[in-house]
Amino acid sequence: MNTAARADSLIAALRAALGDAAVLVTEDTSPDTLARHLVDWRGRYRGQARAIVRPASADQVATAVRLCSAHGVSIVPQGGNTGLVGGGVPDATGTQVVLHLGRLNKVLAVDADNLSMTVEAGCTLAQVQAAAAQAGLLFPLSLASEGSCTIGGNLATNAGGTQVLRYGTARQLCLGLQVVTARGEVLDMLRSLRKDNTGYALRDLYIGSEGTLGIITAATVGLHPRPRGLCTALVTCTTLEAAVALLAATRAALDAWLTAFEVMGALPLKLVQRHLPQAAQVAQTVSLGDDGMWLVLIEVTSARSEQDASEALEHALATALGEGLVSQAVVAHSDAQRQAMWGLREAIPLAEKSEGLMVKHDIGMPTSAVPGFVATTGQTIAARWPGAQVVCFGHLGDGNLHYNVQPPPEAASGDALQAFEGEVNAVVFDAVQVRGGTLSAEHGIGVLRRAELARRTPAVALQTMHAIKQALDPDGVLNPGRVLMG
């Protein structure tokens, strides 16, 4: 059978097994629907697919995998398509199948006594949070994309977000998984145990594997008690060193009460002012002074009461003001003010999108190394590309920075942009590497970082990764060319 005949035979087999409505093909699908599946959130990766397949159960996922495998067609698993490294959209060949998990969207069980909940992979993160809230509990994973991203995608990318400092990444919040393997078998590991030392940690192998080892169809996640008190503040620090010292001081004073510690440089705030002025209004309550200053969003929770949370934060901030770590502080006194503070932080990626193309980095390093990294890397970039601008913000509490570089006008497109990107990446990743950091703290590798991963990972680690891929997906059916090259 030639390639076209094989593809037609696959579509017919998928339709017979899953129903006509579950298999979308380019010829009879609207361009808008196609774009949702074929173009990534940043508009950087645009692919083509032979079909978009929308199974409604784990068994249907398994059937689709077996059929694709038998026809020699590779699969790109897709959740909310909010990933930022190009891992969830197909390549340009038009031969791949996008396997969209959106119809697996049921909350299967809530066990309030065990603080756990089992959900299908296509539930949006917001849906999972709401189901936990309905049971009087908290699912603390929180990302700006939570209305669209799915819990399957969160686990496949081991997503981080704004509360990692207190609750950990998606991996730490996952107790059990159900996965469809590359051979089309349903591997059921949907246990809700907090201690389980039986053999290799298969669950953890699939978490963060970005759809290259298996397709996540359901998960059992751990829940937490809902805090009774919450207090949020925006503060300014004159230097990044002061912000890092403030982090250490608030940690020492508040320990597990500290749930978020986000930092924003002056330039990201200017972008929000320019493109989303409404969201920037809250920043007027603290004046940033000069460009060297940093804005920090701090959030504290209490298991007891609102008053407890605000007293704890106000006390910590008063001490920090006395010690000169903070120059100004505004504490939110209503839910609307708190939302406005978070709205400002979450508007940054959208403002960047409106501003235009940037060379983005999602890097991590020990928090103690952050000020040195920002100072020396900023100097190198300013010296080599005087017109470039650094947009720096992120989860300082986790040592995770979004360090994005806007090219100067002469390098804003075409070959010049490509050359600029390569050189800036080398500057940034070299500086990260000497500080014992990581080139991807939370977004993953996808297509965007696979060459860098291959270049900068020790040979033994890389060989072990290839051996795992070979063992679990010998025919390369699942998301080939993502994470690992070739």
Ligand X SMILES: Cc1cc2nc3c(=O)[nH]c(=O)nc-3n(C[C@H](O)[C@H](O)[C@H](O)COP(=O)(O)OP(=O)(O)OC[C@H]3O[C@@H](n4cnc5c(N)ncnc54)[C@H](O)[C@@H]3O)c2cc1C
Query: Quick check: 402 binds ligand X (CB under 6 A)?
Result: no
Q: How far apart are CA 412 and CA 234, in angstroms?
A: 34
CB of 80 to ligand X, least distance (A): 3
Q: How far apart are CA 177 and CA 179, in angstroms?
A: 6
Positions of E strands within 79-115: 97-100, 107-111
DSSP 27: G
Neighbours of 50 (CB within 10 A): 27
Nearer to ligand X, 214 or 227 (CB): 214
The helix or strand, by DSSP H or E, that contains position 178, with its residue range, turns out to be: strand 174-181
Query: Quick check: 66 binds ligand X (CB under 6 A)?
Result: no
Nearer to ligand X, 75 or 411 (CB): 75
Q: Which amino acid is at 109?
A: A
CA angle 31, 413, 449 (to 5 degrees): 75
Burial 71-95 (b: 16+ CB within 10 A, else e): bebbbbbbbbbbbbbbbbbbbeeeb
Nearer to ligand X, 403 or 420 (CB): 403
**Binding ligand X by CB under 6 A: which of 60, 69, 78, 181?**
78
Query: Quick check: 76 binds ligand X (CB under 6 A)?
Result: yes
CB of 206 to ligand X, least distance (A): 8
Nearer to ligand X, 312 or 443 (CB): 443
Kindly state the tokens that stand for 256. Answer: 């597990």
**Binding ligand X by CB under 6 A: which of 14, 62, 69, 79?**
79
**Binding ligand X by CB under 6 A: which of 47, 55, 80, 364?**
80
H-state helical runs in 210-283: 240-254, 266-275, 277-280
CB of 59 to ligand X, least distance (A): 15
CB of 143 to ligand X, least distance (A): 4
Q: How far apart are CA 53 and CA 12, in angstroms?
A: 12
**Binding ligand X by CB under 6 A: which of 121, 137, 138, 369?**
121
- The residue among 261, 238, 263 whose CA lies nearest residue 316 is 261
CB of 84 to ligand X, least distance (A): 5
- The residue among 45, 65, 46 whose CA lies nearest residue 55 is 65
**Binding ligand X by CB under 6 A: which of 63, 81, 404, 425?**
81
Please say whether the beta carbons of 326 and 235 come within 8 A.
yes
φ/ψ (deg, to 5) at 263: -120, 145
Query: Quick check: 74 binds ligand X (CB under 6 A)?
Result: no
Nearer to ligand X, 95 or 238 (CB): 95
CB of 164 to ligand X, least distance (A): 9
Quick one: 250 exposed, middle or buried, by C-beta within 10 A (0-12, 13-18, 19+)? buried
Query: Quick check: 443 binds ligand X (CB under 6 A)?
Result: yes
Please say whether the beta carbons of 380 and 427 come within 8 A.
yes
341-370: which residues touch ligand X (CB under 6 A)? 349
Nearer to ligand X, 149 or 293 (CB): 149
x-marked contacts with ligand X along 306-345 as a string, rule CB under 6 A: ----------------------------------------
Residue carrying structure tokens 């903070």: 326
Kindly state the tokens that stand for 429. Answer: 């990743």
Query: Quick check: 268 binds ligand X (CB under 6 A)?
Result: no
Nearer to ligand X, 229 or 364 (CB): 364
CB of 44 to ligand X, least distance (A): 12
Query: Quick check: 64 binds ligand X (CB under 6 A)?
Result: no
- The residue among 195, 138, 189 whose CA lies nearest residue 167 is 138
Count of CA atoms in the C-beta half-sphere (13 A) of 118: 15
If DSSP codes are grouped into helix, strand and coil, which group holds residue 219? strand
CB of 308 to ligand X, least distance (A): 28
Q: How far apart are CA 410 and CA 384, in angstroms?
A: 13
Angle at which helix 58-70 crosses helix 3-18, to 10 degrees, equals 160
CB of 222 to ligand X, least distance (A): 17
The helix or strand, by DSSP H or E, that contains position 74, with its residue range, turns out to be: none
CB of 303 to ligand X, least distance (A): 25
**Binding ligand X by CB under 6 A: which of 68, 182, 215, 271?**
215
125-184: which residues touch ligand X (CB under 6 A)? 143-145, 149-150, 152-154, 156-157, 159-161
x-marked contacts with ligand X along 85-104 as a string, rule CB under 6 A: --xx------------x---
If DSSP codes are grouped into helix, strand and coil, which group holds residue 169? coil
Q: How far apart are CA 185 and CA 59, in angstroms?
A: 8
Nearer to ligand X, 270 or 345 (CB): 345
**Binding ligand X by CB under 6 A: which of 102, 184, 211, 268?**
211
Position closest to ligand X via CB: 153
Count of residues touching ligand X (by CB under 6 A): 37
Query: Quick check: 480 binds ligand X (CB under 6 A)?
Result: no
Q: Pick the stretch among 73-81, 300-308, 321-329, 464-472 that binds ligand X (CB under 6 A).
A: 73-81
Residues binding ligand X (CB under 6 A): 41, 76-84, 87-88, 101, 121, 143-145, 149-150, 152-154, 156-157, 159-161, 210-211, 215-216, 349, 442-443, 446, 479, 482
